[in-house]
Amino acid sequence: MISMPRRLLPAGLLVALLLLGIGSAGAQTYPSRPIRFIVGFSAGGITDIVARIIADHVRNKLGQSVIVENRTGANGMVAATEVARAAPDGYTVLISNSSTLTLNPLLYKKSQYETSDFFPVSLMVSYPFILAINPANEKNASVATLNDLVRLARDKPGQFTYGSTGQGGLVHLGFELINQQADIKMVHVPYRGAAAALLALLSKEIDIVFENPTSLAQFKSGKIKALAVTSPERWRDLPDVPAVSELGFPGFDASSWVGAVVHARTADASRQHSHARSAAICRKDQSRN
């Protein structure tokens, strides 16, 4: 069972109320029909899990349907393109991660959207990845630290594989940065989602992954072993696990986030109202926590 530690979520989880005020000029009647959350990644990954948690809160608060739709492909580009082409009425919301909104426009010349096509509604979660191995994999028998892995990979170029959630994503680029800085060659194997990459690690199909915090229980049970976290500093949920930046990779940071955006032309007045409500909700929840 994959679980999301509650403290990974922002203190104001009800910041989902942001989404309730981003309709067009007739905001008093919003929402008068189901809201669509478009997610560019497969079910079971952290972006999908966050979207469903937020959708439940919106649903319970409003009594209005919130439909989570997974539109996978091209590192979230399929989903982002759909929202960029949708009517700017607040009923189509992109729940996205940093790769889709910050990396894709830089990596793909033929991207069908620009960052400017969206208006940011809320940052929902920020989190590190966890560099993980399967301790039952014989290839990792002598690996206790990231530096052990680097030494083995240097001695056996091209023989260690890492999994990612797709070409050009933050996980892919983070591993390539390690390859470059350590002067090693680990081979990239892309999967359609974090759940598939984790299964590949557990079945010894690949040797290493950047796992996200939804798999915290797997780490604590010993099924997978954490070598490092990709945030600039140690992560509070795994305080004994060093940051990559401590291990000979100064300045390394491959942290990610999940946020909500809408079409950039969504009504300005409604957006401003949403921000005011969100700020009040966050202040209330933060003081309670």
Question: Which domains, from first to last, does the chain contain?
Answer: 6-127+256-288 (3.40.190.150), 130-246 (3.40.190.10)
Q: What is the pLDDT of residue 103?
A: 87
Question: 3-state DSSP helix/strand/coil percent for the chain, to nearest 5?
Answer: 45, 20, 40
Eight-state DSSP code of residue 144: S
In angstroms, the first-to-last Cα distance of the chain is 27
Q: What is the pLDDT of residue 275?
A: 53
State the average pLDDT over residues 183-205: 93
Tens digit of each residue's pLDDT (9 = 90 or more) over 239-275:
999 999 999 999 999 999 999 999 998 865 455 555 5
> CA 223 to CA 97: how far, in whole Å?
27
Determine contact, residues 79/99, Cβ cutoff 8 Å.
no
Eight-state DSSP code of residue 243: B
Band (27; pLDDT cuts 50, 70, 90):
low
Determine contact, residues 50/66, Cβ cutoff 8 Å.
no
Q: At what angle do helices 170-182 and 146-155 cross, to 10 degrees?
A: 70
Q: Please, what is the average pLDDT of the chain?
A: 83
Please check the confidence at residue 44 and state whether its pLDDT lies above 90.
no
Please check the confidence at residue 30 and state whether its pLDDT lies above 90.
no
Band (105; pLDDT cuts 50, 70, 90):
confident
State the average pLDDT over residues 168-176: 93
> CA 288 to CA 282: how far, in whole Å?
10
Structure tokens, 260: 């909500």
Tens digit of each residue's pLDDT (9 = 90 or more) over 59-104:
887 788 999 999 998 889 999 999 999 998 888 999 999 889 888 8
Tens digit of each residue's pLDDT (9 = 90 or more) over 142-163:
999 999 999 999 999 999 999 9
Q: What is the pLDDT of residue 145?
A: 96
